[in-house]
Amino acid sequence: MTMSTTSTTPELIQQLNELLNQEKWTRATINNYTVANFQELDTIIETTRESGLEDEAREICEEHLQHTKNSIVALYIAGVLDLSRQSVDDANLVLLTQIFLDNHKWKIVEFLANRILGFGENRTALRVLADVYTNENETEKLHQIWERLILVDFEEADIVRRLAEIKEEAGDTEQAVNYYKKALHRYITRKTFSSVKEIWHKLVSLAPEETEFFYHAETKIARLISSERAVQLLEDLYPQIKQSGNWDRAIELLKRVLGYDPKNHWARKEIIDCFQGKYADHSNLEEYIRVSNLNQSWRPVHEAIADFEKHIAFDTGNFVFHRSWGIGRIRAIKGDDITIDFAKKRDHRMSLKMAVNALDVLPKEHIWVLRAVWKKDKLRSLVKKNTVWALKTVIRSLGNAADIKRIKAELVPSILTPGEWSSWSTKAREVLRTNPDFGMLPDKTDHYTVRDKPVSFEEKTFNKFKADKTFFDRVRTLEDFLEYAAEQGAEGLDSEFFREMYEYFAGMVRSTHGVNEYVISSIIVLRDLVARYPFLKHDLELDFETFYDQIDNVEEVFSRIESPTLRKRFLALVRVADKNWPEVYARLLPYHLSRDMLLELERHGKRQIVLDFVSNVYENYRAMRETFVWLVKSCDEDPWFEEIGLSREKLLLAMTHIYDLTFRDIDNRKDVSLNRKINKQIQAYLFRDKNLSRFIADADEDAVSRLFTLISDVKELDPKAQIELKQQVMDRFPDFHFYGEDEIDLVASRKVLYCTERMLEAKQAEYNHLQQVEVPENSREIEVARSYGDLKENAEYKAAMERQDSLNNRAARLKEELEQARTVKPKDVSTGEVAFGTKVTMRDLGEDQDLVYTILGPWESDPNQNVISYLSPLGKRLLRTSQGETLDFEINEKRYHLRVDSIEVATDLL
């Protein structure tokens, strides 16, 4: 069974055929084979690979197997070549292994199984090795194989249980507990309650403190088996917890039981016992049990518990919060009378009934209490220094559930400034994502909790996966998990949490409701997973082309794939699956704006498709505005626009027109988010990136005139930007006439507000500060005030809302004035008559004294410095008068008799 290692290509193929035929005609029996024979075949395979003949050799072997299905040589060579190409098809080697297994050729079986495993973990090969080591009574090797097997076979539970028992017998309790946990989850999935119960009891005896694990398992049991079984197991766990004296944990467990079965008399009786144990030193314990009717079965148990817990919280020394008086401390409780010291209302007395309704009891570690009793510098320093402590304090203060927005409201601006929050929050988000002390609410992925026991990254990620609202949110969460798994190797997938995530996508593939965006995305997700971890492939059909051919409307399905990564993978797979992929790409381009797609079409000689796409987008730029803006921004340097006759001027005209359309649609509340996004992109392109400025610098006067006519129609255009562009035009074309504008009339105009450049910049800055700083701060104030409750009597809320009205009115007024503003330069001012920008010297003929006034606008007006507005009563009287003219008029019952002596340009103020 040898082939020459120096043979030419035809000779190698001929020798392989002879080798197969030799086996065929001699009908070599199984007993003649040894491991050495397969090692010789490995030499042949290596020679074939070095000669680049893998495909030809594999094809010959597959053809041979058509009529000699048990050919050992063909099965081995084809099987190894399959796996060496990173294929998940192990059928040939598995069949070959089974042939020798049936004939009890254990050494060869071991060799073949290890040969398969040389290409990656494989559950079939591992099970075969387990049979080998069982037969040969090699216990240590068997256990090692079991440990590898359970990492890749998520359904195997019995072996996991056996490993747990082995670790327990060896005294390795920690590892035994880990295996028992894994076995419990797998038995739950199999719905084998008898085994679930046995493992549960084992874990109760070995690790009763693992309540978070028990609760997670209990939830899964209730979902997959029944809530009655979940209650039964919780009741079995309860004695261990009660015996430990941990009243809080015992109470939490009983609440879970009552959540499934509110009429469970045993749980109601036990929770009263636990309350009596926890509050044994409370002077009003029995009275509060009585008034809450906790021991009366007629009252709903959850109402009774809530009532009792609210009453029992009132005790001497505890802190309380009142929405008007703030933080106080209970000084004394006598019968139904409570005395409280508030900061500005000492020795305040109220009845217990009133206190229960009007006050919230706060722990001394509550952030509101700390703000009230600690010095601000001390609290600020600790918050900045110890992010974990600060997060725990705030989250627990908010009922152990808070999102970033609520956390910020508690810290800014009372403790941190907005600037300090920016850097602090970046670190805080990373802590919340990675620190095991923090978890997430099952139904709200953006709400964090503080865990009594650390939560693993796997569990935290799985909790987020369960709470994710959409399919594509779950895809992103799985990607986060796989980043972690990549660092851990196969062990990273050794998790029941991963199995449930995997099964979610597998369930999508198995659905029989047609191929939509979820099914095709699941195919892509699972294909990539199997390519990375071949042992995951089980009974799923993951052929992309099969599912792709079943899609009714490719554009519709593709447009609904929200993940950019999955879209790219979809496009890559389409290139392989569809021979008409260029036409498909052309149809999909509007839904996945990618220059790479255009370049890919060009590389394959499909330039006309690219040009047709560009032309179609330009012709329909009003309807395809997002696509057009992307095309101009991303493909600026490509020759496609020029090839279809689109000049720079046409592109800028279209961009400016869309700029105006987006402003109008935003005002009309039409697709506001999308139009704001497009508006900002165009603004950056035209002004920040100076594309308009560069065009004005290079274009002729007619082209600039056409562009500026359109720019002038953009009502919401930043006045400062418009002024700068006008100045650039004037500098290049001094005699340029701006369409629709006459010579500057520096006297009163109802539609124009004249001002200096300096004051325009100041007002623009004031408006920006109003919108970017004061309005957001007010929004935070409203949110904080709203959290105090009872909006009718909430003084803080009313004050914040009144400030909101004031800010809105101020912003609207400023915006209107800025739209009307027109700046005046010294060169625009004539001294022929009194007008904006002139300094006029007059003689008061009645008082026999000289008067000097500078005429500017309402923004610059400063009567103390003799600067008056041209819109003021005196300013209006002086406008259009000339040197030597005498005036006689009355304003507010005061008589003026003036002579204009001189008029000059107020250069120092313009």
Question: What is the torsion angle, in degrees rounded to the nearest 10, for the CA atoms of residue 345, residue 351, residue 357 and residue 360?
Answer: 50
Q: What is the DSSP letter of 770?
A: I
Cα separation, 106 vs 129, in Å, equals: 9
Residue 443, pLDDT above cutoff 80: no
SS3 call for 403: coil
Tally of CA atoms within 13 A in the half-sphere of 740 that contains its CB: 8
Dihedral (CA of 98, 101, 107, 110) sign: positive
Among residues 2, 415, 460, the alpha carbon closest in space to that of 212 is found at 460
Residue 42, pLDDT above cutoff 70: yes
Cα separation, 184 vs 197, in Å, equals: 9
SS3 call for 808: helix
Residue 444, pLDDT above cutoff 70: yes
Residue 663, pLDDT above cutoff 80: yes
Cα separation, 533 vs 83, in Å, equals: 13
- Segments of 437-488 assigned E as strands: 438-441, 444-450
Question: H helices within 745-904, ranges in order?
Answer: 757-769, 775-787, 795-820, 873-878
pLDDT tens-place string over residues 135-173: 999 999 999 999 999 988 888 999 999 999 999 999 999
| Residues forming beta bridges with residue 867, ordered by sequence position | 854, 862
The share of the chain scoring above pLDDT 70, in percent, equals: 94
Q: Which residues contact 8 (CB under 8 A, 6 or more apart)?
A: none
Whether the link from the prior residue into 582 is cis, omega within 30° of 0, is no
Cα separation, 498 vs 484, in Å, equals: 11
- Segments of 19-177 assigned E as strands: none
Q: Which residues contact 223 (CB under 8 A, 6 or more apart)?
A: none
Cα separation, 166 vs 160, in Å, equals: 10
pTM value is: 0.59
CA distance between the termini of the chain: 102
Cα 111 to the center of its chain, rounded Å: 49
pLDDT tens-place string over residues 756-794: 999 999 999 999 999 999 988 888 888 877 766 656 656
What is the overall mean pLDDT for the chain?
Answer: 87
For the chain, what's the residue count?
Answer: 910
Do 101 and 131 meet the contact criterion of CB atoms below 8 Å apart?
A: yes
| Residues forming beta bridges with residue 842, ordered by sequence position | 851, 900
Do 851 and 841 meet the contact criterion of CB atoms below 8 Å apart?
A: yes
- How does residue 529 score in pLDDT terms, banded at 50, 70 and 90? confident
890: left (phi over 0), alpha (psi -120 to 50) or beta: beta
The whole-number pLDDT of residue 9 equals: 64
The whole-number pLDDT of residue 543 equals: 86
Q: If 0-12 CB within 10 Å is exposed, 13-18 middle and 19+ buried, where does residue 539 land?
A: exposed
Do 43 and 5 meet the contact criterion of CB atoms below 8 Å apart?
A: yes
Read off the amino acid at residue 644.
Answer: I
- How does residue 488 score in pLDDT terms, banded at 50, 70 and 90? low
The whole-number pLDDT of residue 740 equals: 47
Do 286 and 248 meet the contact criterion of CB atoms below 8 Å apart?
A: no
SS3 call for 580: coil
Q: If 0-12 CB within 10 Å is exposed, 13-18 middle and 19+ buried, where does residue 707 land?
A: buried
Cα separation, 25 vs 29, in Å, equals: 11
638: left (phi over 0), alpha (psi -120 to 50) or beta: beta
When mean pLDDT is compared across 233-242, 326-335, 558-567, the lowest value belongs to 326-335
Cα 150 to the center of its chain, rounded Å: 33
Among residues 29, 39, 40, the alpha carbon closest in space to that of 105 is found at 29
112: left (phi over 0), alpha (psi -120 to 50) or beta: alpha
Cα 96 to the center of its chain, rounded Å: 49
Residue 532, pLDDT above cutoff 90: no
The whole-number pLDDT of residue 494 equals: 63
Cα separation, 754 vs 857, in Å, equals: 6
Cα separation, 745 vs 717, in Å, equals: 22
The whole-number pLDDT of residue 537 equals: 65
Mean pLDDT of 177-191: 93
Tally of CA atoms within 13 A in the half-sphere of 58 that contains its CB: 15
Do 322 and 361 meet the contact criterion of CB atoms below 8 Å apart?
A: no
- How does residue 221 score in pLDDT terms, banded at 50, 70 and 90? very high
| Residues forming beta bridges with residue 449, ordered by sequence position | 439
Q: Which helix (H) or strand (E) holds 86?
A: none
Cα separation, 539 vs 825, in Å, equals: 80
Read off the amino acid at residue 37.
Answer: N
Whether the link from the prior residue into 826 is cis, omega within 30° of 0, is no
SS3 call for 710: helix
Cα separation, 851 vs 878, in Å, equals: 13
Residue 482, pLDDT above cutoff 60: yes
Do 302 and 343 meet the contact criterion of CB atoms below 8 Å apart?
A: no
Among 14-18, 190-194, 336-340, 542-546, the range with the most confident prediction by mean pLDDT is: 190-194
Among 49-53, 234-238, 373-377, the range with the most confident prediction by mean pLDDT is: 234-238
The whole-number pLDDT of residue 742 equals: 45
Q: Strand order of the sheet with strand 326-334?
A: 345-351, 337-342, 326-334, 319-322, 360-362
Residue 357, pLDDT above cutoff 80: yes
When mean pLDDT is compared across 140-144, 375-379, 529-533, 856-860, the lowest value belongs to 529-533
Residue 621, pLDDT above cutoff 70: yes
Residue corresponding to tokens 């009645």: 846
Dihedral (CA of 249, 252, 256, 261) sign: positive
- Phi/psi of residue 528, each to 5°? -65, -35
Do 571 and 584 meet the contact criterion of CB atoms below 8 Å apart?
A: no
Cα separation, 431 vs 434, in Å, equals: 5
Residue 25, pLDDT above cutoff 60: no
Tokens of 388: 């974990």
Among residues 883, 880, 858, the alpha carbon closest in space to that of 868 is found at 858
Cα separation, 718 vs 818, in Å, equals: 9
Query: Rounded to the nearest 5 degrees, what angle is found at the Cα of 574, between the Cα atoms of 573 and 577?
Result: 90
Question: H helices within 191-246, ranges in order?
Answer: 193-206, 211-224, 227-244
pLDDT tens-place string over residues 708-751: 878 877 877 777 787 788 888 888 888 877 654 544 455 445 56
